[in-house]
Amino acid sequence: MRKEICIAGFGGQGVVLGGTILGKALALYDDFEAVLTQAYGPEARGGASSSSLVVSDELIDYPFVQHPDVLVILSQEAYAKFRPEASQDATILIDEGLVTPWDDDHPYSIPATRLAEEMGQRRVANVIMLGFLSALTRLVSRQAMEKAIETTVKAKTVPVNMRAFAAGYEYATVGEHKG
């Protein structure tokens, strides 16, 4: 099994942190091989940003994502850039408040930023997306993701990040997330 995952948005949305948490969950707590690469524009906030992961149950001989099997999109610009690169049968997840898909595209959608704002913490939209991804793809276990969140984010933010992850995970179970 080899899966290529790309999380993309703009600086300040926690794209790199999201990739780090996911990679850590896969490699340390679910016993897969995983490689993370990151890219971001010259701006600290507002520039393009992406985290790319290759995950496998065997040693990874080529660590770069070419055609993502799973694409998590947090901005319209990222959608325009990365959607054409995704594999034919890719699982596409978007933040529906920030991304408008093309007419012929039907990604899974979640109002991650709105849900985060309702929690009073806009910055946890990335973790809401991770919960959504985990529940939809079953690529990584819930327990591994929770452990990775707990051991990656600052201790004082663990409770809100756990609530954010649970919100995304639960949203995936309501069945109204397909575009």
The string of pLDDT tens digits covering residues 146-171 is: 999 999 999 999 999 999 999 999 99
The answer to whether residue 143 is domain-embedded is: yes
Tell me the whole-structure pTM to 2 decimals: 0.91
Give residue 159's domain range.
2-171
What's the CATH number where 165 sits? 3.40.920.10
Residue 28 lies inside a defined structural domain of this protein: yes
Indicate whether 92 belongs to any domain: yes
Domain membership of residue 179 (yes or no) is: no
Residue 176 within a domain:
no
Report angle CA 91, 158, 126 to the nearest 5 degrees. 30
Task: Please state the domain count of the chain.
Answer: 1
Residue 178 in any domain: the answer is no
Q: Is 90 exceeded by the pLDDT of residue 39? A: no
pLDDT of residue 178: 63
- Model pLDDT for residues 88-105, shown as the tens digit of each residue: 899 999 999 999 999 889
Residue 31 in domain = yes
pLDDT band at 136 (very low <50, low <70, confident <90, very high): very high
Enter the tokens of residue 162: 């756990």
pLDDT of residue 163: 97
- Taking 60 as the threshold, does the pLDDT of residue 43 lie above it? no
Per residue in 114-125, pLDDT (tens digit) is 999 999 999 999
- In degrees and rounded to multiples of 5, residue 149 shows phi and psi of -60, -50
CA-to-CA distance for 40 and 169, rounded, in angstroms?
Answer: 27
**Domain assignment of residue 158, yes or no:** yes
Per-residue model confidence (pLDDT) at position 19: 95
Per-residue pLDDT, averaged over 34-54, amounts to 80
